[in-house]
Amino acid sequence: MKLVFKYRKERARTRVVYRPVAKLSLKSADGYWYTFTAYVDSGADVSLFTRGDAELLGINIYEGEPWELTGIGGAVIPAYLHETLARIGSIEFPARIAFADLDGVPRLIGRLDVFTKFKITFDERNLQTIFQPYD
């Protein structure tokens, strides 16, 4: 089984770019699944979502493990790590997700707990990201 996600077309300052994204669902405290579109970032150690996402999911971010994430240019983003259930396609798995203590960050699907569940291919020629579950 393969899950294929088309790259997202975006405007950069002087040109159009295509970026790898995928849909990742997270289970809320009240048992509902919420689906988010996030950048697939092989350079990100951990998946990152916003404070508003945590609130939607019924998660108090301050009850998580404090983390400091460093982005491009050395900017530090305060975040809190939580374990929750995640789903890509029909594959459910426990995942540790960092929730930033702010809303102005892009959602990222990082390596921790995700890249060990799927073989991920960045198909630049066809502008798609392919997730194949490991058996």
pLDDT(70) > 90 = no
Residue 109: give the domain boundaries: 3-10+21-133
Q: Is 108 within the bounds of a domain?
A: yes
The CA distance from 104 to 86, in Å, is 22
Q: Are 51 and 43 in contact (CB under 8 A)?
A: no
Burial class (CB in 10 A: 0-12, 13-18, 19+), 128: middle
Q: Is 15 within the bounds of a domain?
A: no
Q: Is 68 within the bounds of a domain?
A: yes
Kindly report, residue by residue over 95-123, the tens digit of the pLDDT.
Answer: 999 999 988 899 999 999 999 999 999 99
Look up the CATH number of the domain holding residue 36. 2.40.70.10
* Number of domains comprising the chain: 1
Q: Is 16 within the bounds of a domain?
A: no
Kindly report, residue by residue over 17-49, the tens digit of the pLDDT.
Answer: 999 999 999 999 999 999 999 999 999 999 999
pLDDT at residue number 71: 73
